[in-house]
Structure 1
Amino acid sequence: MLHRCLEKGILMVTVSLAQMDVQHGDVEANRRKALKFIEEAGRRRSDVLVLPELWTTGYALDMLPKLAEPLNGETVSMLKEKAAQHNMYIIGSMAELKEGKIFNTVPLVGPEGLVGAYSKIHLFKLLKEHLYFTPGRKLGVFDVKFGRIGVAVCYDLRFPEVFRVMALKGVTTVFVVAAFPNRLNHWRSMLYSRAVENQFFMVAANRIGSYGDNRFFGHSMVIDPDGEILVEAGETEILLTCELALGKVKQARSRLFHAEQRKPEIYDAFLQGKQAGD
C-alpha cells in the first residue's frame, strides 16, 4: 500500500504484475482468471495491478469484431468495482470498440473510476495487428495519487522517443503491458535501456502461453532508475509484487538528468538535411 518509509521519508508504492496465460477468445474465462489476480493483489495491499496486453481476448484477431467492448462495457465496469474495493489502480490492455473502430486500449482504472485511456500507437505488423486495430494518436501520460505515470504497450518499447518524451513530461514510473514473443534478450535489454536512459522505473507485465508459432515467455519485471532489476518472473503464471521507492527517480536525476542534455536543434537540422549553424 502507499506509504512513506519512516527512516527516509521516501514515498513507497506497491505494484503487482499479473503474469498470466490468456485463453484464446474466451473473455469470460480470462475475466475469471484476472479476478483471482486482482483479489490476491488486494490481499497484498497493492497500489497498482498490471495485467498483460489483450488480457481479455488474446490474439483472437478475427474474433475481435464480436469480442471488442466499449470502455463503458462489462470489463471496465468490473475493473472499476474492484479498483474501488481494493483502493488500487488497474492497468492492462483490451480490444476497445469505439465509433466503429477497434483499438488496443489500456483503460487506467483507479479508486476514483476511469482515470483515462491509452490506445497503442505502434502496431506490430508481424502479428497482423495493423489489419485489425486502429492506432492511437496520443501518448499515455496520467496523473495519479502517487505522481505522474506513463503507460505503453509491448511494441512501443522499440520506439525510445516515446519514453524520452515521457521523461521530459515528468513521468517517474512507466507501466508496460505486453504480449511479447520469442526474444527474451530484446525484451530485457529494451526495458533496461528505457529505465537507465530516462532515469525512471519500468514496470512490465508480459503474458505467457502461445499463439500460432509465437511463444510468450513471461519474464515480467521491475527495473529501477539505475538499471537494477528489482524483481523478475520466470515463464509460469505468477503474481509478482514489488515496492518502488519513488525517491530514487529524484535522486538519480539530481546527479545528472540525461534528458536535459539533449540537443534537439542539432537532431532536427540533421533530419532536414543540414547541420545546425549552416
Structure 2
Amino acid sequence: MDSRAAPGRAPRGPRPPGTVRIAAAAAHFGRDLDFDLARIGKIVSDARDHGTDLLVLPDAALGGYLADLRRPDPDALPEALKPDDPLIHEIARLAREMVVCVGYCEAAGAARHNSAVCVSGDGVLGRHRKVHLPAGETVAYTPGDRFEAFDTPIGRMGMLIDYDKTFPESARSLALDGATVLACLSAWPTSLTNRAPRLAQDRQARLFDLYDQARAAENQVVLASANQTGAMGGMRFLGQAKVVGPGGDILARTWSKAGLAVAELDVAAEIDRARRILSHIDELRPAAYRTGRPV
C-alpha cells in the first residue's frame, strides 16, 4: 500500500494524490441528545484535524442504544427522531466538506427504526434502516427491508448497522450495488451470556473483528467499523473501531478505548489490486446458490 496508518496511529500531513483518509470512531453516547451532539461535534473536529474525508460514528450516537438487549424497557427507549430532525441538519452543517455517517432512532409514523444517515454539508447522501434485528431489538424497532448503495464525494458507499454484518448477504448486496466502501455503525456489546474476565477473550470481541475482516475480504472492499464504548444499563460495549482494507487486513484500530482509527489509502487502487487475479464479485455463480430460508 502506498500510504496508510500504522495500527493505532493516525496519518498527518500531505497525502499522495488519489488517496483519502477514512476514520472510524469509538465513543460512548447516551440519552442526552445535547451531550451527544456536543460529543459528535468534538469528534468531527478531531477528525478534521487529521484531514479526514469520511468519518463513521457508532450506531445510536444520537440518543444511545438499548440498556438491556434481553428485556428492553418500552418506556426507556431512545428518543425517536424524524428523518429531517434539526439535529441531523446540524451534523450536516458540522460535517461541511467531510462525509459523516451517524446512527439514530428514526421515527416513521408509529414505527421506530434503528437507522443510520450519511451526510455532508450538501445534505443527506444516503440512509439505512437496520434489517437484521437480534431478538431483544424486535421489542423496540421495526426492521428495514433493503440494502442500497449511494454516491458520495469519496465514492460509492453502503451502510450496515451492527447485527447486519453478521449476515454475508448484507455486505454482498451493497458490493453488488457498486459500493467500494462499507460503513459499519455498531453498538456491539460484550457477550451477554458468557462474559470473559478479559475483553480480549470475549467471544463477541472475537466475532466483531472476524466479521469486519471477513466482510471486507470476501467482497474486496474497504470497511470502516465504528462502535460504542463504555456501558449502558447491563450492556458493556466493545469499542474496537477499525478501518479494514480489501484484503481483510486491519489498517488502523482503537482497541477498546475511545478514539479514532484513521487510515489513508487510495480506495480504487487498493480494490483494483485486490481484484487483479481473483475478482470475487465477477466470479460469483448465483444460479448455484440457494436463496431464502432453509426448508
User: Which band: TM-score by shorter chain?
Assistant: 0.7 to 0.9
Q: Which residue of 2 aligns with 1:45?
A: 51
TM-superposed deviation, 1:263: 2.1
- % identical equivalent positions: 27
Task: Please state if 1:114 is matched with 2:120.
Answer: no
Which sits farther off after the overlay, 63-72 or 111-120? 63-72
Q: Which residue of 2 aligns with 1:262?
A: 284
Are the aligned partners of 1:141 and 1:148 in contact in 2 as well (CA < 8 Å)?
A: yes
Q: 1:161 aligns with which of 153, 162, 169?
A: 169
Are the aligned partners of 1:140 and 1:152 in contact in 2 as well (CA < 8 Å)?
A: no
Cα offsets for 1:96-137 (capped at 9, x unmatched)? 112222111111111311112111111121xx2111111111
Q: Which residue of 2 aligns with 1:253?
A: 275
Q: Which residue of 1 aligns with 2:16?
A: 5
Write the distance in 2 (CA, Å) between the matches of 1:134 and 1:116: 19
Pairwise mapping of residues 187-266 of structure 1 onto structure 2 (< 5 A)?
187-246=208-267, 247-266=269-288
Are the aligned partners of 1:142 and 1:148 in contact in 2 as well (CA < 8 Å)?
A: yes
Are the aligned partners of 1:156 and 1:162 in contact in 2 as well (CA < 8 Å)?
A: yes
Which structure is richer in relative contact order (CA contacts within 8 A, separation 6 or more)? 2
Q: 1:59 aligns with which of 51, 62, 65?
A: 65
Are the aligned partners of 1:48 and 1:88 in contact in 2 as well (CA < 8 Å)?
A: yes
TM-superposed deviation, 1:64: 6.5
Q: Which residue of 1 aligns with 2:25?
A: 18
Q: Which residue of 1 aligns with 2:205?
A: 184
Q: TM-score, normalised by structure 1?
A: 0.87
Letter in 2 for 1:55: A
TM-superposed deviation, 1:272: 8.9
Write the distance in 2 (CA, Å) between the matches of 1:270 and 1:73: 36
Gaps of 5+ in 2: 1-11, 67-71, 191-203
Say which structure is richer in helix.
Answer: 1
Q: TM-score, normalised by structure 2?
A: 0.83
TM-superposed deviation, 1:262: 2.3
Say which structure is richer in strand.
Answer: 1
Structure 1 residues 82 and 131, CA, compared in 2 at 3 Å: closer, same or farther?
Answer: same
Structure 1 residues 58 and 190, CA, compared in 2 at 3 Å: closer, same or farther?
Answer: same
Which ranges of 4 or more aligned residues in structure 1 deviate by more than 3 Å? 60-66, 268-273
Write the distance in 1 (CA, Å) between the matches of 2:291 and 2:49: 54
TM-superposed deviation, 1:140: 3.6
Task: Please state if 1:101 is matched with 2:111.
Answer: yes
Gaps of 5+ in 1: 274-278
Cα offsets for 1:62-109 (capped at 9, x unmatched)? 35677111121121021121122xx01110110111222211111111
Are the aligned partners of 2:53 and 2:154 in contact in 1 as well (CA < 8 Å)?
A: no
Q: Which residue of 2 aligns with 1:77?
A: 89
Write the distance in 1 (CA, Å) between the matches of 2:280 and 2:273: 13
Are the aligned partners of 1:64 and 1:95 in contact in 2 as well (CA < 8 Å)?
A: no
TM-superposed deviation, 1:210: 1.7
Write the distance in 2 (CA, Å) between the matches of 1:221 and 1:230: 7
Aligned residues: 263
TM-superposed deviation, 1:271: 7.8
Q: 1:90 aligns with which of 92, 100, 110?
A: 100
Structure 1 residues 194 and 272, CA, compared in 2 at 3 Å: closer, same or farther?
Answer: closer
